[in-house]
Amino acid sequence: MGTNAQPAEVRLTIPADGAYVAVPRAVVGNLAARNDFTVDAIDDLRIAVDEACALLLPQATGGVVECVFTIDKPTLVVEVSADVPETWHPDTTGFGWMVLAALVESVVARNTGGRLAITLTASALSTENA
Amino acid sequence: MTQPDPGGQGELAGPDEPQDLRARTAELFAILSGAGPGDPEHTMARDGLVHLHMPLVEHLARRFRNRGEPYDDLVQVATIGLIKAVDRFDSDRGVEFSTYATPTILGEIKRYFRDKGWAIRVPRRLQELRLSLTAATAELTQELGRAPTVGELSERLGLATDLVIEGLESANAYNTLSLDAPDQNDADSSTVLDALGADDEALESVEYRESLKPLLARLETREKRILTLRFFRGMTQSQIAEEIGISQMHVSRLLARTLTELRAGLLKD
């Protein structure tokens, strides 16, 4: 946004409660809309954030989920993280993961000492390079 | 599936697609993906692919012959679908081109019929914005070969970016039609969809969780189809919108709702 070429960061901490997932979903929709994502891609991102939160929520032990949105044009990176059991890792063969993988360019989950982060990466107008 | 079939996708790909056509198609796509857009080679391969598959276009257009539209017009519309399919096809996905192109071409023809007019029931205040967004999205999708950005929509409509964002967001919150409301061309579209009939196989092959099975089985045919096209065929919402004959916004709402339902069901079980 604006004229700055520096990556911009938006941070959001929500209660680990399904009712609040609408907030990061709305945020990612708005950020994507303002950064040249197509209407298709905007919806894909909304669903992806929804899905990432849904994977994380049932395991979140700290009561909160943190979302960090980084805009580094044309790339938008969303990191959704929460405290989880130290050995837990999302099921990457499951339905939720498959949906995630189909929606964004890359999706990575990493558990660092009980902090699980799901990182979604998408680029504006990536359909043009398809 | 009785034996491994490189085409693998049933009746549409089979008899209509002799080996040499397949080989030639693969060859041209290899050239296409090797050359950059604008290269003479790229253009030649693209043209070649379109010409090669004109029989498919004519075959599909013929299915809609007795609906009061000139056959030649239908062929033209269907050819647009073919060109889109050529541009969007990813040969790495392991799907036969004709299998990929058929729904796109049919979608284009169906949209042609659908655009002859359809009713949207929304509050008066939003109706105009919704209509212009839907129309502009369709127009720009056609022109650009992909869904438009908010910036492109606001430029086309001469509206502020914020208003466009608001319009899109309110569209997501609104139910313009009942999920079960039949399309104007419902009888026809179900015929077409039935004729394709590949949903169940695709769904079965990806049922990783046993618990998902009964949940998927409970879904409406259309929702199941949208889910399949989106996640197992990798089509975009706009492409699905064209194929099913509803707006991209409607596809978006249906997808979001279906996923929510599936998740709720999984947690409950």
Using only C-alpha atoms, chain A has a radius of gyration, in whole angstroms, of: 14
DSSP state of B3: S
Give the integer Cα–Cα distance in Å for A102 and B255: 13
Which residue in B90, B255, B262 is closest to A130 by CB distance? B90
Q: Does B234 touch chain A (CB under 8 A)?
A: yes
Burial class (CB in 10 A: 0-12, 13-18, 19+), B267: exposed
pLDDT at residue number A67: 97
Mutate to test the interface with B, among A27, A40, A92, A105 (most CBs of B within 10 A): A40
Average model confidence (pLDDT) across chain B: 71
pLDDT at residue number B258: 84
CA distance B237 to chain A (A): 6
By C-alpha distance, which of B249, B131, A102, A97 is closest to B240? B249
Backbone angles phi, psi at A66, to 5 degrees: -110, 135
Residues 6+ apart with CB under 8 A from B58: B75, B78
Residues from chain A that touch B206, judged by Cβ atoms under 8 A, are 98
Which residue in A29, A93, A102 is closest to B234 by CB distance? A102
Mutate to test the interface with B, among A95, A97, A123 (most CBs of B within 10 A): A95
Q: Does B212 touch chain A (CB under 8 A)?
A: yes
**ipTM score of complex:** 0.71
> Mapped to the 3 state alphabet, what secondary structure does chain A carry?
CCCCCCCEEEEEEEECCHHHCHHHHHHHHHHHHCCCCEHHHHHHHHHHHHHHHHHHHHHCCCCEEEEEEEEECCEEEEEEEEECCCCCCCCCCCHHHHHHHHHCCEEEEEEECCEEEEEEEEECCHHHHC
The answer to whether the Cα torsion of B30, B32, B35, B40 is positive or negative is positive
Centre a 10 Å sphere on the Cβ of residue A2 and count the other Cβ atoms it contains.
6
CA distance B168 to chain A (A): 9
Which residues are paired to A115 by β-bridges?
A83, A112
pLDDT at residue number B5: 40
pLDDT at residue number A84: 94
Provide the residue count of chain A: 130
Per-residue pLDDT of chain B (269 residues; tens, 9 = 90+): 344 444 433 333 344 445 678 888 888 998 888 887 778 888 899 999 999 999 888 877 876 665 567 788 889 999 999 999 998 888 787 777 877 887 788 778 777 765 543 333 445 556 678 778 888 988 998 898 888 999 999 999 998 888 888 787 765 443 333 333 333 333 333 333 443 444 444 444 444 445 566 677 777 778 888 888 887 777 888 888 888 888 888 888 888 888 877 777 766 64
pLDDT at residue number B173: 42
pLDDT at residue number A4: 55
Residues from chain B that touch A97, judged by Cβ atoms under 8 A, are none
pLDDT at residue number A31: 94
CA distance B169 to chain A (A): 9
Q: Does B264 touch chain A (CB under 8 A)?
A: no
Per-residue pLDDT of chain A (130 residues; tens, 9 = 90+): 555 568 999 999 999 988 888 899 889 999 999 998 988 788 778 878 988 998 898 899 999 999 999 999 899 999 999 999 999 998 876 656 766 776 788 999 999 999 999 999 999 874 444 3
By C-alpha distance, which of B133, B150, B138 is closest to A29? B150
pTM of the entire predicted model: 0.49
Residues A39, B256: C-beta atoms closer than 8 Å = no
Q: Does B165 touch chain A (CB under 8 A)?
A: yes
Q: What is the bridge-based pairing of β-strands A115-123 and A64-72?
A: unpaired
Residues 6+ apart with CB under 8 A from B252: A43, B172, B237
pLDDT at residue number A127: 43
CA distance B62 to chain A (A): 31
pLDDT at residue number B219: 78
Query: For the packed helices B186-196 and B97-114, what is the interaxial angle rounded to 10 degrees?
Result: 180
Which residue in B209, B236, B259 is closest to A47 by CB distance? B259
CA distance B189 to chain A (A): 23
pLDDT at residue number B65: 65
Got the DSSP string for B51-63? Answer: HHTHHHHHHHHHT
Residues B259, A43: C-beta atoms closer than 8 Å = no
pLDDT at residue number B266: 64
pLDDT at residue number A99: 66
Residues from chain B that touch A39, judged by Cβ atoms under 8 A, are 137, 147-150, 153, 168, 237-238, 248
Q: Does B248 touch chain A (CB under 8 A)?
A: yes
